[in-house]
Chain A
Amino acid sequence: SQQGEEDPQALSIQEGENATMNCSYKTSINNLQWYRQNSGRGLVHLILIRSNEREKHSGRLRVTLDTSKKSSSLLITASRAADTASYFCATVIKAAGNKLTFGGGTRVLVKP
């Protein structure tokens, strides 16, 4: 079963705008990871945030984690057409070993 639910399911923005997507999960986690998937391709790891961290940055990406609300957000600033992809959050639960449990994903379309 899916641990995470993502919101929105789809997002369409203009190049240069920011894109924000949210992920909620159900049980306590060890860490939460964000991945990107271009259409018909494998996944690329973007960023990992541990349960004791609240915010992380990587280039134009900003991830927040609120363990009290069991939610995370991914912000892509100054989006580019090349950012068009599906974005997935995935949680690691200590009791489940190192398995990733994915959310439903957000399909992002950045229009030039």
Chain B
Amino acid sequence: GAVVSQHPSRVICKSGTSVKIECRSLDFQATTMFWYRQFPKQSLMLMATSNEGSKATYEQGVEKDKFLINHASLTLSTLTVTSAHPEDSSFYICSTGGGHLEETQYFGPGTRLLVL
């Protein structure tokens, strides 16, 4: 399956700062990537679908101006958490694949964000 990396693996920042998380598809040309958020001991919640060369599609309740997504190439999508607050502290996971209905998704290792 596809290999997906994320950087950084963990980040601690002060409230009010912005944090950028990178998701790279290392061996797969990903026209679509997905961003999820996972709170402790909870399930993954889809935040947005990142589309190469076009605007991301956000799930209901996810602020597009708060969570900026850029998918400028077939191998890289970035998620920027702007003006981060403690409630944004979470585990952020990206995935790729899922190009058609029966395709599995390949997940990155996740980025743990702690906002102080």
Contacts and interface: CB of A to CB of B under 8 A. Distances in A.
Q: Give the size category of B's interface with A.
A: 20 to 34
Contacts of A56: none
A40 B108 CA distance: 11
Interface stretch (B14-22, B62-70, B80-88, B94-102): B94-102
A94 B100 CA distance: 10
Contacts of A100: 34, 46, 95, 98, 105
A43 interface: yes
B102 A31 contact: yes
Contact of B104 (A42, A48, A104): A48
A98 B93 contact: no
A30 B102 contact: yes
B24 interface: no
B58 interface: no
A88 interface: yes
Interface residues of A, number: 26
Contacts of B44: 43, 88, 102
A33 B98 CA distance: 12
7 contacts: A2-B43, A30-B102, A40-B91, A40-B112, A92-B101, A99-B34, A105-B42
Interface of B: 1, 4, 6, 32, 34, 41-46, 49, 91, 93, 95, 98-110, 112
> Ordered nearest first, which 9 A-B pairs have the shortest CB separation?
A42-B107, A98-B98, A43-B107, A45-B104, A42-B109, A102-B43, A102-B44, A30-B101, A104-B43
Interface of A: 2, 30-31, 33, 35, 40-45, 48, 50, 88, 92, 94, 97-105, 107
Given A42-B108, A94-B101, 18 more contacts: A31-B101, A40-B110, A41-B110, A42-B107, A42-B109, A42-B110, A43-B95, A43-B107, A45-B106, A88-B43, A88-B44, A92-B101, A98-B98, A98-B100, A98-B101, A100-B105, A102-B43, A105-B42
